[in-house]
Amino acid sequence: MMDRKIVIQRATVSRDAHGGEVLTWADYKTRWAEVQYAGGAEGQAANKETASLTVVFRFRHISDLTEKDRISYDGKYMDIVGIIPEGRKHFQTVQTEFRR
């Protein structure tokens, strides 16, 4: 049941006035997707409490989607950690991780 709207975002790198790199995210594709929450974890990094949530999306295939892209859904930005094509590349399942 693909009834949730997601936005695939792609990063571009530009230079600021001092020559430093600036990473900017832009909307790339919009898709209707099935969304499943697969679990979460808590821990510590650099003396700071961290939490992550794994979210799996299933939607129509995007041939050039990579782990460098991210998904915007429900006001959150989720890093892509795995892409699994389905069938004859009509659909794909994408595992993401949201960290706070």
We report the CATH number of the domain holding residue 35 as 2.40.10.270
* Dist CA 81 CA 95 (whole Å): 6
* Dist CA 98 CA 20 (whole Å): 27
* Dist CA 7 CA 5 (whole Å): 7
The mean pLDDT of the chain is 90
Residue 63's domain comprises: 4-99
Domain count, the chain: 1
Cα 79 to the center of its chain, rounded Å: 4
Predicted confidence (pLDDT) at residue 40 exceeds the cutoff of 70:
no
pLDDT digits (tens, 9 = 90+) for 55-75: 999 999 999 999 999 999 999
